[in-house]
Amino acid sequence: MQDDQIIETYIPPPHPRGIELSGQWVRLEPLDISRHSKDLFQANTMDRDGSNWAYLPYGPFATLEAYEAWLSEAALTPDPNFFAIIKRADNKAAGLASYLRINPQDGSIEVGHINYSPLLQKTREGTEAMYLMMKWAFESGYRRYEWKCNALNTKSRYAAQRLGLSYEGVSANVDQQGTQSQYRLVCGH
């Protein structure tokens, strides 16, 4: 097969809006504030020092109302497209993740806004959630899967590498705290 045949026969994959992903230990559901916010807020209160939020541009949230207000404004858009991660063991939401920079025409999709409560960190459930998102992307026809994180966020970098993503580069982003480096990992076929 010639390279130009691949491009000519390429069919853009679907947008992930509305999909559910099911595994042995977790289920990813489209974020629904009325169904998921209380569980997520409660799970996040287990993060006593607020370290879960160190590399995110929002949070921590002092009240359920403040958390729901953020979810209403930021998390109910088609891009980023948020999912609640439900642990099957207790059927409660324990984390969030999203697809973003969704570009079906180029076959590229990114995972981000990953926020695992202590109930999901360093667990097979957390690993399975990321596996399910990556699996869906490639099985749907995306050719490039990206995971970007703050260069200082070693936990996120190591998690991405453990899942098979490889280092692509570091770029500088300017935010309210000054210049921050962003570590970029990718997987593709």
Alpha helices in the chain (DSSP H): 3-8, 33-44, 64-74, 124-140, 154-162
Widest pairwise Cα distance in the chain: 57
* pLDDT cut 70: percent of the chain above it: 87
Q: What is the pLDDT of residues 24-73, one digit of tens each?
A: 999 999 999 999 999 999 999 999 999 999 999 999 999 999 999 999 98
Q: Which residue has the higher pLDDT, 34 or 8?
A: 34
pLDDT at site 169? 78
What pairs with residue 173 in β-bridges? 180
Q: What is the pLDDT of residues 85-127, one digit of tens each?
A: 999 999 999 999 999 999 999 999 999 999 999 999 999 999 9
Give the global pTM: 0.89
pLDDT at site 150? 85
Domain ranges of the chain: 3-144
**Per CATH, is 3-144 categorized as 3.40.50.11310?**
no
